[in-house]
Amino acid sequence: MSSQTKVRLAPPALWAVILPAIVWLLAACSSVPPAAGLRGSGDLGVVIERADGRVKVIETTGRSVLATVDGLGDLSHASVVFSRDARYAFVFGRDGGLTKVDLLEARIVGRVLQAGNSIGGSISHDGRIVVAQNYAPGGVKAFDANTLELLAEVPAITEDGRRSKVVGLADLSGNRFIYALFEAGEIWITDFSDPKKPQTQRFAGGNQPYDALVTPDGRHYIAGLFGEDGLAMLDLWNPEQGSRKILSGYGKGQEPLPVYKMPHLRGWSVAGGRAYLPAIGRHEVLVVDTGTWQEVGRIPVKSQPVFAMARPDGREIWVNFAFPDNGWVQVIDTVSGKVTHTLQPGRGILHMEFLSKGHEVWMSARDDNKVVIFDTASKQQVGGFESASPSGIFFTTRAARTGF
């Protein structure tokens, strides 16, 4: 190898041009938006920044913020559902705005102002219809999930001519949706199979339903009642039986405490054959057997629960509280039925969202302007980031669940 071949290099003058060109090209590569590269959407999510009409698009694998999307209007009490492919988030704003956000490209791809005052929404099992539930004008509206074109409207007007606020909307099989009427105390099921000709069935509910849930199997609908001591339950496999009261008189005639924030009900509270329900106006979580629908226990907690959410494996229930105790979170062990941990993750804990297998929980600390991430095994903080007045946190894994 002694006889070396002479390698021809470009003259130094040429390098002076090539090198900066290479540097510039490399730099340009890194500024290409991440959406241009391939990525999945299964570990994505959305954090609502309620005061600024803005959402943060996050990813849970590296616990990072990918992008910020502006221009979503009044997001107090905003909620989100996802398209079946977990690429699009439908954000329902308080001001009646329905905004479709492409998570991969981090931009708004559709937006309609569909009501004066809205509280949330839902998506059909086939993913084609998005339904919004409205306070004003009270009722539900169905939209084409692709185009956000209005398909149908069902005003929540009862026979006496009164209009009610709609609460507790949830998706059922067969492009049906179930919801409750606050003033009228009724439960309605609307079938949008023929989207332009919705058919509605009406059931008696109870006094002032404030929110409701459908169990993860889609069989039972439970509405929390503000106006009476108990909850209304409708067996959707036997709807002809009508709704019945469960946990009737759970307050045992005691005067309820003032309620500074209405509890939220969703299918997340069902675990291991039991439902864990926030008692309204009381410092208790109620435990009901989902086979017999009898009360099997009640767990004293620090204050009035807002969310009682089962970790996805069902072993723990995490509970946050109404103002002025919204800086606390308690963890209930479902085997012993007792509170095992009392945490102070931040000021103004408005919402908690578990990763789909339950090893982490993300919590929004509104008054500290941050999202905090806790390991559910160690109960220690493992991450977090700044966020302006965060409220709801929604992961795309909701796309695969009934009632979300």
Partner 1 sequence: MKIPPLLAHVAVFLGAALVAAFASASETKAVAPEEQRARELIHIVRQDCGSCHGLTLAGGLGPALTPDALADKPFEGLVATVVSGRPGTPMPPFRGIVSEPEAEWIVDQLMRGFPLDAGLPPSR
Binding site for partner 1 (CB under 8 A): 50-51, 74-77, 94-95, 117, 119, 135-136, 165, 182, 208, 210, 226, 258-262, 323-324, 347-348, 366-369, 389
Q: Which is nearer to partner 1, 182 or 354 (CB)?
A: 182
Q: Which is nearer to partner 1, 209 or 403 (CB)?
A: 209
Q: Which is nearer to partner 1, 91 or 310 (CB)?
A: 91
CB of 52: closest distance to partner 1 in angstroms?
10
Q: Which is nearer to partner 1, 182 or 188 (CB)?
A: 182
Q: Which is nearer to partner 1, 20 or 227 (CB)?
A: 227
CB of 148: closest distance to partner 1 in angstroms?
23
Residue 138 in tokens: 């009270």
Q: Which is nearer to partner 1, 19 or 136 (CB)?
A: 136
Q: Which is nearer to partner 1, 49 or 102 (CB)?
A: 49
CB of 93: closest distance to partner 1 in angstroms?
10
CB of 368: closest distance to partner 1 in angstroms?
7
Nearest Cα residue to 217 out of 288, 141, 271, 152: 271
CB of 120: closest distance to partner 1 in angstroms?
11
CB of 352: closest distance to partner 1 in angstroms?
16
CB of 392: closest distance to partner 1 in angstroms?
12
CB of 71: closest distance to partner 1 in angstroms?
16
Q: Which is nearer to partner 1, 117 or 356 (CB)?
A: 117
